[in-house]
Amino acid sequence: MFKTIEDHAADTVGITVEGVPHRVPANISVAAAALLCGLGSVRETPVTGVGRLPYCMMGVCFDCLMKINGQPNQRACQVMVAADMTVERQLGAAEFEEF
Amino acid sequence: MIDDSYELLIIGAGPAGMAAACEAASHGVRVAVLDNQTSPGGQIYRNVDRATDSRNRILGKDYVKGRLLVDRFKQCGGSYFSEATVWFLDEKRRVGVLIDDKSYFVSADKLVLATGAQERPMPIKGWQLPGVMTAGAGQILLKSAGMVPEGRLVLAGTGPLILLLAYQYLQAGVKFDALIDTTPQGAMLRSLGKLFEALPAVDYLLKGLKMMLAVRQAGIPVYHGVEGLGAVGEEKLEAVRFDAGKAGLKKVTDCELQADTLLLHQGVIPNFRLPLAAGCEIEWDAQQQNWIVVTDEWGRSSDADIYVVGDGSRISGAEASALQGRLAGMHISFQLGKINAGKLEALSGPVVKSYKRHLSIRPFLDSCYTPSPRYLVPDDATLVCRCEEISAGEIRQAVRLGCTGPNQVKSFTRCGMGPCQGSQCSSTVSLIISEQLGKPMTEVGCIRVRPPLSPITLGQLSEV
């Protein structure tokens, strides 16, 4: 679990994480926001389905893959939060869209 | 809007990339810099131009100092593209980059690759559990979001960064439950001989001592020479355990500490995927236990038009990286006919001197903090490839079946075939093979990288 040590009250955005509305500091990554919102895992692996949380926070490990605004397999540590963003856990491999 | 070609294209806006850009631009070179973060600074000076006063106080003056270089970089006259993802690079120096959801191909007369370092994987039992992160990740959360761990926290590993993070957490008022030092027993003592060489960089040594003292004064339990470290838990981290270690002079065995967060670290290694993609020659550094990119004194790789500088070629630290970036910037300016040989010599003299001073600490650090082989080559049950969930045992089995190198192991097991493309397993796989077959690392080689070097959608690709 992580917490913020600064008062961000003046500068926050509203996002929806796993269907639940949250206010989080602006200018942080989605991965940071997911940790702040207390998610137990941000994804389930495609191989064995176990949960993972962000690991490296710098874009190299790909353990923070999430579905952001409906787009699957996004590295949550490389995407900044924005107003009205929808963030969901990535469950297994991404599904193909029907054409 | 990015142009089709530049005289100089720099990838990475950390100390080395920023310094190379400032230097080359000052001599009239047409420069563009691509970086994947939202603001310049690299990992070391991440977010430095937006950090709050309280954050600066916690992170310290070595961090705040980065602001000077960032400010200079912003005014250097080069074109800077933030949040740019390089997904293609080949031996012809063609760069494929994704900016604002659009893909471009850019070419350049000279290329500087300044892609910095990543943390060395620390494959211990349970390192994939939620609640286990790298120390670098902890520091990134502090720098970029003012966030710190809550609950029971354990820091474990070896190297300067774990100590720095411990110190910064103490400044932030974060109490942690233990510092578990995996530096091999006696490594410090064996490295004392290198202290004399390190004297020109005595400031580094004093900083290290100050941090060690602060941890001791805070009354944090410190365990030294720890062996058999592992993370324990079902669905998430519940405890950190180790087989043996020392608390002061007292021997500790089979120790288990309850924990909500475990931050791991065992040094940093060059993030050399782009040089590898460009076909630059690499070699195994037995002291640092990682691949390095072969360069000359100007940072020029085996391809004379590609310079690889900073921690992305060989771990040398922020200050040395910036100086190496400057040297590359000068040499490129000379090569492009912007300055003559006399000016190059006059400009580079003092920079080389300073560069050597900053490098003088390295033999001591490298010798002191070489990770224990036990933490580099894990036992059979430990996961090596986090993406495809392949254990060390499965890799050894593939070698027994006849695989002779990491790329064959990849084909047999899918190890390194996942989205991270081997960033977390490549060196471990090669080390396992090297040990099992008794072959030197240079012969074993490493997992190849292939485009796309970063994920890109078909839609984004179709725009090129």
Residue A1, burial from CB neighbour count under 10 angstroms (0-12, 13-18, 19+)? middle
Distance to chain A for B159, nearest Cα, Å: 17
pLDDT at B251 over 90: yes
CB half-sphere exposure, B84, CA atoms < 13 A:
26
Grade residue B464 by pLDDT with cuts at 50, 70 and 90. confident
Q: How far apart are CA B143 and CA B161, in angstroms?
A: 14
- Global pTM? 0.96
Is A99 a member of any domain?
no
Contact B394, B401 (CB under 8 A): no
What pLDDT score was predicted for residue A20? 98
- Whether residues B260 and B301 share a domain: the answer is no
Average pLDDT over residues B64-78: 97
Residue A91, chain B, CB below 8 Å: the answer is no
- Whether residues B132 and B260 share a domain: the answer is yes
- At which of B203, B237, B266 does a domain end? B266
Residue A12, chain B, CB below 8 Å: the answer is no
Report the CATH number that the domain containing residue B97 is assigned in CATH: 3.50.50.60
Q: pLDDT for B349-364, tens place per residue?
A: 999 999 999 999 999 9
What pLDDT score was predicted for residue B307? 98
**Partner-chain contact A59 B260, CB within 8 Å:** no
Work out whether the CA dihedral A60, A62, A64, A65 comes out positive or negative. Answer: positive
- Whether residues B152 and B97 share a domain: the answer is no
Encoded amino acid at B213, one letter: L
CA triplet B100, B106, B109: central angle to 5 degrees?
145
As a three-state string, the secondary structure of B372-427 is CHHHHCCCCCCEEECCCCEEHHHHHHHHHCCCCCHHHHHHHHCCCCCCCCCCCCHH
Percent of chain B exceeding pLDDT 90 equals: 91
Q: pLDDT for B172-205, tens place per residue?
A: 999 899 999 999 988 888 888 888 888 888 888 8
Residue A73, chain B, CB below 8 Å: the answer is yes
Q: How far apart are CA B422 and CA B418, in angstroms?
A: 7
Is A46 a member of any domain?
yes
Residue A36, chain B, CB below 8 Å: the answer is yes
Q: How far apart are CA B403 and CA B409, in angstroms?
A: 6
Is B368 a member of any domain?
no
What pLDDT score was predicted for residue B105? 96
- Whether residues B114 and B129 share a domain: the answer is no
- List helix spans (H) across B175-249: 187-190, 195-198, 202-217
Domain residues for the domain of A43 are 12-91
Percent of chain A exceeding pLDDT 90 equals: 88
Domain residues for the domain of B402 are 377-444
Average pLDDT over residues B389-415: 97
Grade residue A39 by pLDDT with cuts at 50, 70 and 90. very high
Is A2 a member of any domain?
no
What pLDDT score was predicted for residue B379? 96
All residues of chain B having their beta carbon less than 8 Å from the beta carbon of residue A77 are: 140
B452 preceded by a cis bond (ω within 30 of 0): yes
What pLDDT score was predicted for residue B246? 95
All residues of chain A having their beta carbon less than 8 Å from the beta carbon of residue B424 are: 56, 60-61
All residues of chain B having their beta carbon less than 8 Å from the beta carbon of residue A73 are: 419, 455
Is B360 a member of any domain?
no
Kindly provide the residue ranges of all beta strands, DSSP E only, lying in B201-326, ordered along the sequence.
222-227, 230-232, 239-247, 250-258, 261-266, 268-270, 282-285, 290-293, 306-308
Average pLDDT over residues A36-43: 97
Contact B40, B13 (CB under 8 A): yes
Average pLDDT over residues B159-164: 95
CA triplet B289, B291, B296: central angle to 5 degrees?
120
- At which of B339, B363, B390 does a domain end? B339
Complex-level ipTM: 0.97
Residue A94, chain B, CB below 8 Å: the answer is no
Report the CATH number that the domain containing residue A65 is assigned in CATH: 3.10.20.740
Percent of chain B exceeding pLDDT 70 equals: 100
The pair of structure tokens assigned to B388 is 């495809």
All residues of chain B having their beta carbon less than 8 Å from the beta carbon of residue A63 are: 128, 386
- Whether residues B180 and B73 share a domain: the answer is no
DSSP assignment of B13-81 equals -SHHHHHHHHHHHHTT--EEEE-SSSSSSTTTTTTTTT--HHHHHHH-HHHHTHHHHHHHHHTSS-EEE
What pLDDT score was predicted for residue B185? 86
Work out whether the CA dihedral B226, B231, B232, B237 comes out positive or negative. Answer: positive
Pick the residue from chain A with its C-alpha nearest to B263: A55
Q: pLDDT for B29-43, tens place per residue?
A: 999 999 999 999 999
Is A96 a member of any domain?
no
How many structural domains compose chain A? 1
Grade residue A99 by pLDDT with cuts at 50, 70 and 90. low
Q: How far apart are CA B125 and CA B93, in angstroms?
A: 41
Residue A93, chain B, CB below 8 Å: the answer is no
- Whether residues B127 and B258 share a domain: the answer is yes
How many structural domains compose chain B? 3
Q: What is the mean pLDDT of chain B?
A: 95
Pick the residue from chain A with its C-alpha nearest to B169: A5
Q: Please identify which residue in the block is written with the tokens 């080069």.
A: B78
All residues of chain B having their beta carbon less than 8 Å from the beta carbon of residue A52 are: 128, 130
Is B143 a member of any domain?
yes
Q: pLDDT for A9-21, tens place per residue?
A: 779 999 999 999 9
Is A77 a member of any domain?
yes
- Whether residues B262 and B279 share a domain: the answer is no
Q: How far apart are CA B272 and CA B280, in angstroms?
A: 9
The pair of structure tokens assigned to B161 is 């960064």
- Whether residues B420 and B309 share a domain: the answer is no
Is B464 a member of any domain?
no
pLDDT at A98 over 70: no
Q: Please identify which residue in the block is written with the tokens 């003056």.
A: B61
pLDDT at B99 over 80: yes
SS3 B101: coil
- Whether residues B287 and B312 share a domain: the answer is yes
**Sequence-distant (≥ 6) Cβ neighbours of residue B125 within 8 angstroms:** B230, B231, B232, B378, B381, B382
- Whether residues B261 and B273 share a domain: the answer is no
